[in-house]
Structure 1
């Protein structure tokens, strides 16, 4: 029996805990199973070498994605505030899609495949948002209000007024405490809400787009594709629990 190959993909400003926890789970199997029945764990990045996490810790990637070839059993795209920049890296995203396809075909027991920006499960996304909870009460109040008013105007001006700050100061403080700009945070929450509705209801995509503040199905489609790498319809097909 051969070892199962597990590949962790990291990128600048990834979250160390999102790597360390799952990595340790796979790596520790050597304590209980024969060596040839465990997991061969690899860390890869856009380029081999040191990759700086979101809090300044450097992690060594053993190889770059172009050197990570052949079949694999499990692909884990590590989460973190740098994932938006990673999504804009066409070479990296292209490799993820190709590798995820190989992983789905090769895995025989339980394949964990995460698209960029941590879809795959509502709880995973919610955990990422909770980890970026600010310490200042006005900002936490704004976050709570955003969740309940997704279909409304959520511009920086509106959010800053609710926090009792100037737009410039609100933007600076919000990003410092959450790792995201206000606009990026709003879109993240809206995407999360859309994902939840796609997973748990039969509501039309047009209605979901309106309810989550995207306005039109075309806008939701475009943002979903850019953020998760799949369309709302494809996501519902793979992850819906309503049927």
Structure 2
């Protein structure tokens, strides 16, 4: 690992834009998934992803990343991304998204709310809100991996999803590029390898969609050669 700024990319690893354009096949099931986070082949942290119902038709999807070794640990780098979404037309739609990153030398935050009555997105990073129109079926970067996993479970091979980012909604597109044998701490899997087809940023995510709705492995070069490997997965709250 080379730069403190790359710590922020750990949390983004599980939440890079993945997507689906068709209706998803099933409703969510609560779970907890734990990942080992590495950079340049060196273990540097742990990410815990959870999904649970919170009432009133809403679900909470959370990704908590902690630096456990190297510079990440020395800086006390921790980040949390939490989304509350509704399950609408057999697909997730973001209602509220929050991101917090804290380290000894830097902190960052983002709060996003979607008003589905007025179809407006409001994003605030502490300098006042920015607004732009929402898009039906829109998610954020945090919930996109869940959306792609459930789309793969439904048999889709080409995927696209409107993803709310800082200033606008991006139509991000991905495809299944092949099937690979993948070995991670959680076990050995015959996985579907997903790559992004609308961007030149190197990114691959491996899913075993009939077992888990989230990746068993994820690798990206943007942000410092980060890799996440599934360590454990447990159904239930």
Give the TM-score of the pair, scaled to structure 1.
Answer: 0.28
Larger Rg: 1
RCO higher in structure (CA 8 A, sep ≥6): 2
Larger fraction in strand: 2
Higher helix share: 1
Q: TM-score, structure 2 length as denominator?
A: 0.28
